[in-house]
Structures are given as structure tokens and as C-alpha cells.
Amino acid sequence: MVTIGLRLIINTSIFVANLNNKSSNEKTKDLDNNYLEAPEIVDIPEATNSAEITISGVAQPKLTVYIYVNDEQQKELISDDDGFQTSIRLTEGDNQVYAEIEDKENKLIKKSRIYQVTYKNSKPTLTIDSPKDNDKVSSENIKVNGQTDVTSQLKINGQPVVIDTNGKFSFDVRLKDGENTILIESRDEASNLESKTLKVIYEKD
């Protein structure tokens, strides 16, 4: 009877120990999942006119970081205390960029959010309807009329100009006696620049 009771106590102790061990392992697994944080790309443009750009981000140090462009892995690197930095190549148009971090020891992977980068290396369109180059006018004030891309930022002689929903614009310019230079600049979201220079001669009646 004593032997049977002793065995029962030992078996019960082993069962309880196994339960505690299982619970501890589950807690460790949860801690591992919470411990690994998703990386974040903090320096990346929304639009660019360069096919290759440098990006940087933050991630837990001493772990493997993968950089993807349009779901294709481009780079694999190890993060340090400052995070990570690398260059990537883009294709013409919209690009989907994201990072993944991997803890190989614990077989865990976390993914960043997806960042969209537009690569465009062509200049915006810019047409000037009036005045024409080398026009002679007798009015001190003239209107510069034309059209450009709707998404561009337009300046005439350094002054911002409003573009309507069709890309058209009209801007008043005051002339001085004699020859006047008018500079029209259209810059798109990727910093591509198109410009035109007109000379207008103001002669009083």
C-alpha cells in the first residue's frame, strides 16, 4: 500500500510538472511573437525621377531584413542599431515596396506595410498658347495662357500659378518698357522639369 501510494504521488508530480512545462513553452512562444516587431521604412519618396533610390528604415538589430519591390526580393541584409539602409531599383510607373524581418532562431517573420513609389523620368507636357516668342505688345499687362499636366506645379517668373482640372492656366504678367523675359516652369510630382522662355517686347503707343 505504501509503494502504491508513493507511485501515485510520483506520477501526479510528473503530470503537474508536464502541465507547467507546456504552459511555460506556450508563454515563451507568445513572448517570441510579441518580441518580434515589424520593420518600418522611414525614408522613401512617393515619387522619383531616378531608377535607383536609397531607402532606410528601423528594425530590431542583428536580424535579417529582406527588401521586396513588386513582390520580388531585391536585397537581404542584417539590421544594426541604426536600423538598415540600402538601394533598390524601380520599374517605370508604380512600385510596391516593403520589408520583412526574420528571426531565424525562432522561425518568426514580420512584414512592414506596403509603400508605393512612382518612378517617372519623362518631362511634363507644357504648351504656351499666348503670347508668342518675340511678340510686340502695346499693353503693360498681358496674360500668359497655356496648358500642362494636371498633377504638375507651375510657376511663371517664380510665381506659383493655379492649374485648372483640365491642366489649363492663365496668369497676368506686368511688363516693363522694352524687352521682357517670361520664364514658365512646370515640375511634376517626380521633380521632372519642363520650362519655356519667351521674350515679349513692350512698346507704348
| Furthest C-alpha separation in the chain | 130
The answer for residues whose C-beta is within 8 angstroms of residue 82's C-beta and 6 or more apart is: none
Mean pLDDT of 63-74: 97
Can you tell me whether residue 23 is helix, strand or coil? helix
| pLDDT confidence bin for 205, thresholds 50/70/90 | confident
Answer whether residue 101 shows pLDDT above 70. yes
| pLDDT confidence bin for 67, thresholds 50/70/90 | very high
pLDDT of residue 16: 44
Answer whether residue 134 shows pLDDT above 70. yes
Mean pLDDT of 80-99: 96
Give percent of the chain with pLDDT exceeding 90. 78
| pLDDT confidence bin for 107, thresholds 50/70/90 | confident
Q: Which of 23-32, 104-113, 179-188 has the lowest mean pLDDT?
A: 23-32
Cα 173 from chain centroid? 37
Mean pLDDT of 37-65: 95
Q: For residue range 145-177, list pLDDT tens digits in order.
A: 999 999 999 999 999 999 999 999 999 999 999
Q: What is the mean pLDDT of the chain?
A: 87
Domains of the chain listed by start with CATH number = 40-119 (2.60.40.10), 126-202 (2.60.40.10)
Q: What share of the chain is helix, strand, coil (3-state, %, to 5)?
A: 15, 50, 35
**What distance in Å separates the CA atoms of residue 25 and residue 42, rounded to the nearest whole number?**
35
Q: Which of 27-41, 69-83, 148-162 has the lowest mean pLDDT?
A: 27-41
